[in-house]
Amino acid sequence: MTRMNAVRLTLAMLAAMVVMVGCQAGETAKSSTAPAATPSAAKTAQQVPATPTTMEKVRVGQVFSSGAMGPFWVTKDEGIFRKYGLDVETVNINGLPAAVAALNSAQADAFLTSPGVTTLRAAAKDMDLVLVHTFSNSLAYKLIARPEIKTVQDLKGKKLAGAKVGDAEYYLTRNALAKLGVNPDDLEFRTVGLQPERLPALVQGMVDVSMFTPPTDLIAKKQGMIQLADMGDLGIPYVGNSVYVRKSLAKEKPQVVENMVKALTEGMYVFRTNKEVATRAIKAYMKIDDQEVLEYTWNAVVSRLETTPLPSAQGLREVIAISSFEDPTLKDLPVEKVADTSFVKKIEASGFIDDLYKGRK
C-alpha cells in the first residue's frame, strides 16, 4: 500500500467514527451525533416484561462516542431502561466542562466518561455529581509504532505523538513507558492531537509511536504499523468509562438511580453475551461497516468489561495521583468524595447480578 493510499484509507475510516480516547481520558473527547434509538425487535438475553405504567424521565449526556459506549447503547436500544421504568433521553454534550455544568444545573441527570481532572475538580468542590457505576477498571490503550521499530528499546530518541503535554493521557503514557523499562524523557513528545490526527501522522512517518484504543489500533495495524505493548497487560490500576449522576438525584430519588444501575448492569450482560446485538449497536452509532473492525471492537470492550460494575478504589487513587500532576490541589482528594458505590453493592447483595449470569432473570 502506498503512503498516499494509506493516508486516504485512514481518513476514510476515521471519518466514520470518533475513536475511543474519551473512554480513557475523557478530558479531550468530542461528542457525536447518535442515531435515533428505538428498541430493537431482536430478542435479547433477558425477557422484557410489560412497560411500567409510570416512567421516570432521565436525561443522559453523551460526551464521546466509542466502542466503550456500546453497553449503554444496547441498554437503551434494547428497551432495558424502559423495563426498569426509565424513559432515557440521550443528549449530546460538547466536552466535559459542559457535561459537569449540565449536571450541576440539573439540565442533565447523568453522563458517561472516565474520571479525570475535570470530574475530580468538580467532586473536590462538592458540585452536584458522583460516580455510581463503572464499566471497566483497566486500560484499553495499545502502544503502536512504525514497522521499523521492533521493540520498546528502539524508542530512544523517537518522536512520541500525543494530544497535549500535561493531560491525563500524557501522564498515563509516561507511566506505561516507565513500566516497560523505557525512560519517557528519552522520547521527543510531539503535540499532534487526538487519535484521528495521530494515526495519519504515524502512517506518514511524521511521528514514530503513539497510544491508540480499539478500533484505531486495528486500523493502524492494517496499514503496516506494529503493536509494541498492551497497556491493559501492565497491571496499571485505572477506572475507565463510568456513569456519573446528580448527587441530588441519588439523594431525592434513590430508586431511580438504583434502576439505572440495574438497567446498565443488565445491558452489560446483554452486550457481553449477544454479539449480534452488540455489534449492531456499535455499527449504528459509530458508522462502522467493516465486520472485522466491528468484531474486534466488541471483543476489546468485552475483554475489559466488569461483571460487577464497581469502580476500583485503587484505580481511583491512581487517577487522582495522575490528575494531581496537572492540578496539585487534587492530591489528597478522598475516594469517597468521587464515587458512591452503595447502589452497585446493594444490587450485588440482593443477588441481582448472580441471577443475571445464571440466566434466572
Q: Is residue 204 scored above 50 in pLDDT? A: yes
Residues 243 and 133 in one domain: yes
Residue 171 in contact with residue 162, Cβ under 8 Å? Answer: no
Does residue 19 surpass a pLDDT of 60?
A: no
Question: What pLDDT score does 38 carry?
Answer: 41
Task: Give the pLDDT band of residue 232 (cuts 50, 70, 90).
Answer: confident
Which of 233, 264, 288 is the last residue in one of the domains? 233
The answer to whether residue 24 sits within a structural domain is no
What average pLDDT does the segment 95-123 reach? 94
Domain shared by 127 and 162, yes or no: no
In a domain, 18, yes or no: no
Verify that 293 and 306 share a domain, yes or no: yes
Q: Please check whether residues 79 and 106 belong to one and the same domain.
A: yes
Q: Which of 51-60, 189-198, 253-262, 336-345 is the least confident region? A: 51-60
242-245 and 226-230 as β-strands: parallel, antiparallel, unpaired? unpaired
Q: Is residue 217 part of a domain?
A: yes
Q: Do 187 and 38 have their domain in common?
A: no
Task: Please tell me the distance from the alpha carbon of residue 269 to that of residue 307, in angstroms, as a whole number.
Answer: 8
- How far is 145 from 112, CA to CA, in rounded Å? 30
Helices (H), 239-274: 247-252, 254-273
pLDDT at 13 over 90: no
Span of 155-159, 253-257, 318-322, 336-340 with lowest mean pLDDT: 318-322
Domain for residue 22, yes or no? no
**pLDDT-based confidence at residue 120 (cuts at 50, 70, 90):** very high
Cis peptide before 215 (omega within 30 of 0): yes
Q: Is residue 324 part of a domain?
A: yes
The count of domains in the chain is 2
Dump pLDDT digits (tens) for 48-96: 455 666 899 999 999 888 889 999 999 999 999 999 999 999 999 988 8
User: Where among 233, 263, 290 does a domain terminate?
Assistant: 233
- Residue 20 lies inside a defined structural domain of this protein: no
Does 293 lie in the same domain as 227? Answer: no
Structural domain that includes position 48: 31-137+238-357
For the chain, what is the mean pLDDT? 87
Q: Are 45 and 274 in contact (CB under 8 A)?
A: yes
**How does pLDDT run across 285-326, given as a tens digit for each residue?**
989 899 999 999 999 999 999 999 999 999 999 999 989 988
Regarding whether 156 and 123 lie in a shared domain, the answer is: no
Question: Whole-angstrom Cα distance, residue 195 to residue 63?
Answer: 16
Please tell me the pTM assigned to this model. 0.81
- Considering the domain boundaries, does residue 289 fall inside one? yes
- Is residue 44 predicted with pLDDT exceeding 50? no
Domain identity same for 294 and 323: yes
Radius of gyration of the chain (CA): 20
In the listed set 186, 210, 233, which residue is the last one of a domain according to the structure? 233
Q: What is the CATH number of the domain that holds 309?
A: 3.40.190.10
Task: Say whether both 342 and 202 belong to one domain.
Answer: no
Tell me what pLDDT residue 50 has. Answer: 57
Residues 124 and 264 in one domain: yes
Nearest partner of 163 among 155, 149, 173, 177, judged by Cα: 173
The answer to whether residues 244 and 352 belong to one domain is yes
Q: Is residue 353 part of a domain?
A: yes
- Please list the residues that pair with 57 across neighbouring strands: 87
Q: Identify whether residues 166 and 114 lie together within a single domain.
A: no
